């Protein structure tokens, strides 16, 4: 493996299994280092194509998303690093697929717990094809001022503190990703910083070894000294011992093997990593430290003394003229994410949406402040949910029951009405449920199902209007008489909404209207608006037998009685409810049930494309 450095300021990677935070950290590091191009060329998300928006400094960029490794490699032939964030279950297969791509040179496997047999297979393939595997169970690696893998070195603040935004003179390799962060900081304090750092991973069989990277550092001119942090368990460190004895490493090596405290325990201890378990005296931290010391590495007497050993080794190289300390540079300021800045109180930003009816930020959604669990446990029905979401209050049971009755009575009116007809035609054209539903809903308006609001509006205006008595000037009378109301509408050329039916007559009343009137008279405190509508009907029936109060008029007038009689709404709120279109909302909600039913009916019956018959069309000039 020896060769030289793995990364450069132009290195680009493919990121497998989209994770927003580590990718954004890579891009922030790129910006910090002054890279001209993002280090992430593409993202591989099995089963999904498209783009992901992320930030490159102040600029928002779109990174391509590919569904396959092969497709991503073909699209980005210069990306030679594969960063694998797959779970331990699929990490081996996806890593092998990447290694088999001719463009991929380095594979970093983040997951821990990858089966050892799979790891051995990956290692064998990589070595046979002159490729590098970092991991499994690794945080990755970094070349200061050039490129980093995923979450390596942690936050931007830590990266700045460790001076990783520009190259230093020290090559560092460790088994532990967490301890790498600690050592990056230590090295930055007592030297000019890291040139390259690698965490090989804590599993029993790492894809590359400590000595692999030390020998590689030895071939990189910019690396003047090497720091190694090993751990008890395994015999990886002994390959480094042999390399030192054979003179293959010519640069100073400062090393420490952690885990010396293991001897304090009476039984064998398993530390954090799978490989951090001593299998005998040779695998103990003490034995490894002694062997490294005897081979020529600088090995302190304790971890606490490691910092001193690094400082002294670096100082000696400076004194000998082998290192010219890097001049410090000021890194650019990384723009702070808006959400982070808001949380820290640094900025304030206006919201884009106002919502007063529901809140999903807590442990469970709330409707008008009522938790979902309370709604279910209290036995609330659809009417209660509508009262919370539409009216922002819990209405009395007779009100919510009336709402439910309206929904039931208006759910459908057969296949021949315009809404159902449109839905049926659309469904038979092979369109989906939503398209079929919407085509029916779009017919709702003044001529079909949309007269509830108008009925309520005109009945309310006529009943509430204050007028001067024509026989006794100075005397004010509340409300228009049915005669005055109907005749005034006639003069304006407006049909009275809620009055009239194509089928029903004075001697064949709409059963739905009768049910609604009976319920209102039985349960409502007052039905003054409904009774006024009945008086209007009595007058209109003198003109034509089909000018009966229809379901729109019944619902519109009774809903006025609900709002006024419940005592829970102000006059201003009632006017606003009628004006906004709440009442038509009831018809839209109810009829959606029937339109969905018609869609399913046509799909179930496998009905063919509808074509209107010629004989039903008047062709004329």
Q: Are residues 295 and 390 in the same domain?
A: no
Rg over alpha carbons for the chain, rounded to the nearest Å, is 39
106-110, 325-329, 356-360: which range is least confident on average? Answer: 325-329
Helix-strand-coil percent breakdown of the chain, rounded to 5?
45, 15, 40
Domain membership flag for residue 336? no
User: Could you say which of 320, 346, 363 is where a domain stops?
Assistant: 320
Whether the per-residue pLDDT at 467 is higher than 80: the answer is no
Domain membership flag for residue 379? no
What is the C-alpha separation between 197 and 239, in angstroms, rounded?
19
Domain membership flag for residue 411? yes
First and final C-alpha spacing in the chain: 87
Q: Residue 19, by phi and psi: left (phi above 0), alpha (psi -120 to 50) or beta? A: beta
Q: Which of 562, 532, 358 is closest to 458 using CA atoms?
A: 532
Q: Are residues 535 and 453 in the same domain?
A: yes
Q: Provide the pLDDT confidence category of residue 589 given band limits of 50, 70 and 90.
A: very high
Crossing angle for the helix pair 433-441 and 418-428, to the nearest 10 degrees? 150
Q: What is the pLDDT of residues 454-463, one digit of tens each?
A: 999 999 999 9
Q: Which domain holds residue 515?
A: 385-605
Q: What is the pLDDT of residues 167-178, one digit of tens each?
A: 999 999 999 888
Q: Provide the pLDDT confidence category of residue 200 given band limits of 50, 70 and 90.
A: very high
Q: What is the pLDDT of residues 377-429, one digit of tens each?
A: 999 999 999 999 999 999 999 999 999 999 999 999 999 999 999 999 999 99
What average pLDDT does the chain have? 92
Whether the per-residue pLDDT at 133 is higher than 60: the answer is yes
Sorted by sequence, the CB contacts under 8 Å of residue 466 that are 6+ apart come out as 476, 477, 478
Q: Provide the pLDDT confidence category of residue 273 given band limits of 50, 70 and 90.
A: very low
Q: Are residues 397 and 292 in the same domain?
A: no
Partnered with residue 132 across adjacent β-strands are 106
Which parts of 203-357 are beta strand (E)? 225-231, 253-258
**Inter-residue contact 66 to 51 (CB < 8 Å):** no
Crossing angle for the helix pair 528-540 and 482-492, to the nearest 10 degrees? 70
Catalytic-residue membership of 501: no
What is the C-alpha separation between 304 and 462, in angstroms, rounded?
91
Q: Are residues 488 and 398 in the same domain?
A: yes
Q: Are residues 91 and 168 in the same domain?
A: yes
Domain membership flag for residue 36? yes
Q: What is the pLDDT of residues 22-53, one digit of tens each?
A: 999 999 999 999 999 999 999 999 988 999 99
Q: How many domains does the chain have?
A: 2
Mean pLDDT value across residues 242-258:
96
Query: The domain that contains 79 carries what CATH number?
Result: 3.40.50.261
Sorted by sequence, the CB contacts under 8 Å of residue 527 that are 6+ apart come out as 517, 520, 521, 558, 561, 565
Sorted by sequence, the CB contacts under 8 Å of residue 512 that are 6+ apart come out as 409, 551, 554
**Inter-residue contact 145 to 166 (CB < 8 Å):** yes
- Given 273, 413, 471, 598, which residue is catalytic? 273
User: Could you say which of 320, 347, 373 is where a domain stops?
Assistant: 320
Report the predicted TM-score, pTM, of the whole model to 2 decimal places.
0.70
Whether the per-residue pLDDT at 150 is higher than 80: the answer is yes
**Inter-residue contact 173 to 5 (CB < 8 Å):** no
Q: Per-residue DSSP letters for 28-50?
A: HHHHHHT-SS-SEEEEE-TT--E
Higher per-residue pLDDT: 312 or 346: 312
Neighbour-count burial for 517-547, b at 16+ CB within 10 Å, e otherwise: bebbeebbeebebbbbbbebbebbbeeeebb
Q: What is the pLDDT of residues 595-611, one digit of tens each?
A: 999 999 999 999 999 99
Pair type for strands 366-367 and 370-371: antiparallel
Q: Provide the pLDDT confidence category of residue 267 given band limits of 50, 70 and 90.
A: low
**Inter-residue contact 83 to 149 (CB < 8 Å):** yes
Biggest CA–CA distance in the chain, Å, is 124
Q: Are residues 259 and 392 in the same domain?
A: no
Q: Per-residue DSSP letters for 537-583?
A: HHHHTTT-TT--B-HHHHHHHHHHHHHHHTS-S-HHHHHHHHHHTHH
User: Could you say which of 269, 295, 320 is where a domain stops?
Assistant: 320
Q: Are residues 307 and 397 in the same domain?
A: no
pLDDT at 298: 98
To the nearest whole percent, how much of the chain has pLDDT over 70? 94
Give, for 280, the enclosing helix (H) or strand (E): none
Q: What is the pLDDT of residues 369-389, one digit of tens each?
A: 999 999 999 999 999 999 999
Q: Are residues 401 and 316 in the same domain?
A: no
Q: What are phi and psi of 16, to 5 degrees?
A: -95, 130
Domain membership flag for residue 612? no
Q: Are residues 489 and 595 in the same domain?
A: yes
- 405: cis peptide before it, omega within 30°? no
Crossing angle for the helix pair 451-464 and 582-605, to the nearest 10 degrees? 160
Q: Are residues 530 and 407 in the same domain?
A: yes
Q: Give the count of beta carbons closer than 10 Å to the beta carbon of residue 56.
A: 18
Q: Which of 220, 232, 229 is closest to 253 using CA atoms?
A: 229
Instruction: Tell me how far CA of residue 146 lies from CA of 30, 189, 436, 459, 597, in angstroms.
Output: 7, 20, 55, 75, 61
Q: What are phi and psi of 422, to 5 degrees?
A: -60, -45
Domain membership flag for residue 210? yes
Sorted by sequence, the CB contacts under 8 Å of residue 4 that are 6+ apart come out as 216, 219, 220
Domain membership flag for residue 372? no
Whether the per-residue pLDDT at 234 is higher than 90: the answer is no
Q: Are residues 45 and 164 in the same domain?
A: yes
Sign of the torsion angle spanned by Cα atoms 418, 424, 425, 430: positive
Domain membership flag for residue 370? no
**Inter-residue contact 53 to 61 (CB < 8 Å):** yes
Whether the per-residue pLDDT at 296 is higher than 60: the answer is yes
pLDDT at 274: 47
Q: Are residues 89 and 192 in the same domain?
A: yes
């Amino acid at each position: 493996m020896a060769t030289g450095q793995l990364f450069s300021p132009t290195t680009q990677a493919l990121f497998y299994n989209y994770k927003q935070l580590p990718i954004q950290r890579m891009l922030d590091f790129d910006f910090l280092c002054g890279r001209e191009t993002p280090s992430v060329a593409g993202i591989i998300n099995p089963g999904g194509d498209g783009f992901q928006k992320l930030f490159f400094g102040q600029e928002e960029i779109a990174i391509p998303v590919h569904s396959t490794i092969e497709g991503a490699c073909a699209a980005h032939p210069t990306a030679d690093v594969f960063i694998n964030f797959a779970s331990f279950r699929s990490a081996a297969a996806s890593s092998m697929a990447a290694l088999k791509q001719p463009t991929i040179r380095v594979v970093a496997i983040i997951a821990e717990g990858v089966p050892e047999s799979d790891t051995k297979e990956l290692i064998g393939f990589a070595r046979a094809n002159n490729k590098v595997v970092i991991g499994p169970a690794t945080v990755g690696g970094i070349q200061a001022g050039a490129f980093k893998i995923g979450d390596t070195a942690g936050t931007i603040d830590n990266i700045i503190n460790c001076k990783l935004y520009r190259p230093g003179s020290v090559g560092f390799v460790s088994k532990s990703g967490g301890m790498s962060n600690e050592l990056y900081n230590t090295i930055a304090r007592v030297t000019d910083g890291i040139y390259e750092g690698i965490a090989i991973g804590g599993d029993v069989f790492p894809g590359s070894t400590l000595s692999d990277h030390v020998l590689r550092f030895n071939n990189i001119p910019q690396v003047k000294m090497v720091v190694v942090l090993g751990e008890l368990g395994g015999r990886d460190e002994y390959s480094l011992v042999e390399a030192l004895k054979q003179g293959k490493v010519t640069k100073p090596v400062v090393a420490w093997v952690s885990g010396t405290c293991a001897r304090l325990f009476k039984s064998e201890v398993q530390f954090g990593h799978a490989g951090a378990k001593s299998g005998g005296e040779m695998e103990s931290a003490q034995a490894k430290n002694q062997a490294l010391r005897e081979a020529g590495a600088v090995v302190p007497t304790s971890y606490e003394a490691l910092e001193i050993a690094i400082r002294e080794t670096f100082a000696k190289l400076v004194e000998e003229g082998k290192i010219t300390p890097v001049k410090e540079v000021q890194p650019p300021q990384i723009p702070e994410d808006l959400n982070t800045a808001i949380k820290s109180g640094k900025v304030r930003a206006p919201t884009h949406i106002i919502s007063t009816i529901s809140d999903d930020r807590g442990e469970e959604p709330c409707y008008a402040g009522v938790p979902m669990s309370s709604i279910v446990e209290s036995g609330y029905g659809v009417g209660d949910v509508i009262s919370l979401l539409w009216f922002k209050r819990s209405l009395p049971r007779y009100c919510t029951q009336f709402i439910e009755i309206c929904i039931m009575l208006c759910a459908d009116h057969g296949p021949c009405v315009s809404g159902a007809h449109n839905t049926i035609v659309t469904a038979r054209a092979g369109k989906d449920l939503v398209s079929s539903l919407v085509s029916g809903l779009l017919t709702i308006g003044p001529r079909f199902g949309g007269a509830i609001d108008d009925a309520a509006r005109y009945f309310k205006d006529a009943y509430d209007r204050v007028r001067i008595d024509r026989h006794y000037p100075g005397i004010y009378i509340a409300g228009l008489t049915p005669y005055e109301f109907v005749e005034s509408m006639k003069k304006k050329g407006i049909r009275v909404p809620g009055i009239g039916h194509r089928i029903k007559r004075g001697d064949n009343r709409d059963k739905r209207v009768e049910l609604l009137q009976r319920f209102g008279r039985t349960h409502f405190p007052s039905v003054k608006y409904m009774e006024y509508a009945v008086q209007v009907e009595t007058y209109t029936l003198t003109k034509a037998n089909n000018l009966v109060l229809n379901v729109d008029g019944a619902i519109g007038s009774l809903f006025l009685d609900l709002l006024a009689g419940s005592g829970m709404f102000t006059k201003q709120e009632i006017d606003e409810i009628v004006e906004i279109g709440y009442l038509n909302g009831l018809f839209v909600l109810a009829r959606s049930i029937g339109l969905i039913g018609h869609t399913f009916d046509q799909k179930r019956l496998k009905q063919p494309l509808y074509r209107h018959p010629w004989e039903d069309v008047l062709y004329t000039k």
